[in-house]
């Protein structure tokens, strides 16, 4: 059998460890591995190449993805999906692994519904917002990048009578924001999933400032779209000069953590084993309650990720 792997959508730390394990394990199982470069665009343009061990040597510590990625508008066109399928057939590829997030899996659900495709997805996004899985590849590394930035920002925050507001990524999900707030000791956290009590929190912080507090660390999720509002509130209501840091794409970079490398190992082994045992699979590997499971891709794309209640509760426990 010939199996292929590709990255799609935003890159995530842990993709390279998954790619290396894919190549090594497929060879170990006596099959032929292929790499698809440039994501869905590369699938359409036939950027599909056989791979040897030497092509993936020394990539475990690298962030991003050596096979690159893309977001493809052309894949919405049936003719392009037909071409993508023809390219897979040309190389006799019978199984496909996709490292990606919600948008990538929606594209693959459409693709697999039209063609005879043996597909397994590995949830790979720092946002950790894929329905059906408790963990997505890359989120632990992103949290460690944020943690490092917040520790440094707090160092300078304690030297001035100032508030520091840090905007983190996550699309419409507050996972990165609330976990970062919990582990950094932030005084304020604003996420899309919970209404922020400006009046209540304002009263608390003003009292603390009057009692001697000389700085505040606030974490705001980009999906809340409240960075400017929180900035103004800290300055005008709390009375602290406020600096804003938008971390941006540094959150996608960096060496994959031990946890992400281990998760990449298990996600990939589970995906390859499933492809070798099945001919018509349309599934995603999910991590649930300490175990790896396969769930239907239709279930994944039709569901909506919900932030665990313990994280929602934690928003009210920061004070």
> Which are the contacts of 158, defined by CB distance < 8 A and separation ≥ 6?
214, 215
| Residue 319, pLDDT score | 66
What are the tokens at 145? 């990048």
The Cβ of residue 192 has, within 10 Å, a number of other Cβ atoms equal to 18
Sheet holding 32-36, edge to edge: 48-50, 32-36, 2-7, 93-100, 119-123, 282-288, 291-296
pTM of the model: 0.95
Burial class (CB in 10 A: 0-12, 13-18, 19+), 248: exposed
Cite the active site residues. 127
pLDDT tens by residue, 89-136: 999 999 999 999 999 999 999 999 999 999 999 999 999 999 999 999
> Which are the contacts of 83, defined by CB distance < 8 A and separation ≥ 6?
44, 46
Instruction: Per residue of the chain (319 residues), give pLDDT as tens.
Output: 899 999 999 999 999 999 999 999 999 999 999 999 999 999 999 999 999 999 999 999 999 999 999 999 999 999 999 999 999 999 999 999 999 999 999 999 999 999 999 999 999 999 999 999 999 999 999 999 999 999 999 888 888 888 999 999 999 999 999 999 999 999 999 999 999 999 999 999 999 999 999 899 999 999 999 999 999 999 999 999 999 999 999 999 999 999 999 999 999 999 999 999 998 899 999 999 999 999 999 999 999 999 999 999 998 888 6
Q: Domains in the chain and their CATH numbers?
A: 2-138+256-302 (3.40.50.450), 139-252 (3.40.50.460)
pLDDT tens by residue, 269-281: 999 999 999 988 9
> Residues 248, 311, 137, 72: is their CA dihedral positive or negative?
negative
Burial class (CB in 10 A: 0-12, 13-18, 19+), 90: exposed
């Amino acid at each position: 059998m010939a199996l292929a792997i590709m990255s799609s959508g935003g890159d995530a730390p842990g993709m390279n460890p998954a790619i290396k394990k894919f190549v090594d394990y497929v060879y170990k199982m006596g099959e032929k591995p292929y790499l698809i470069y440039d994501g869905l665009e590369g699938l359409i343009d036939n950027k599909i190449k056989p791979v040897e061990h030497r092509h993936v040597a020394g990539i475990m510590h690298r962030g991003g993805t050596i096979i690159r990625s893309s977001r493809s508008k052309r894949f919405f066109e049936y003719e392009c999906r037909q071409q993508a399928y023809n390219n897979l057939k040309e190389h006799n590829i019978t199984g496909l692994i996709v490292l990606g997030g919600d948008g990538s899996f929606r594209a693959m659900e459409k693709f697999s519904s039209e063609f005879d495709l043996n597909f397994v997805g590995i949830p790979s996004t720092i946002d950790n917002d894929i329905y059906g899985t408790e963990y997505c590849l890359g989120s632990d590394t992103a949290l460690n990048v944020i943690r490092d930035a917040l520790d440094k920002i707090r160092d300078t925050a304690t030297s001035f009578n100032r508030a520091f507001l840090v905007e983190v990524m996550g699309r419409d999900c507050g996972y990165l924001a609330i976990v970062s707030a919990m582990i950094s000791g932030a005084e304020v956290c604003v996420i899309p999933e919970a209404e922020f009590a400006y009046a209540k929190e304002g009263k608390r912080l003003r009292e603390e400032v009057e009692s001697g507090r000389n700085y505040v660390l606030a974490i705001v999720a980009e999906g809340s779209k409240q960075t400017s509002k929180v900035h103004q509130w800290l300055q005008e209501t709390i009375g602290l000069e406020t600096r804003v840091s938008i971390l941006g794409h540094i959150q996608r970079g960096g060496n994959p953590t031990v946890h992400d490398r281990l998760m990449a190992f298990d996600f990939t082994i589970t995906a390859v084993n499933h492809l070798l045992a099945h001919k018509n699979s349309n599934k995603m590997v999910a991590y649930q309650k300490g175990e790896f499971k396969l769930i239907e891709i239709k279930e994944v794309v039709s569901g909506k990720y919900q932030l665990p209640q313990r994280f929602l509760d934690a928003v009210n426990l920061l004070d």
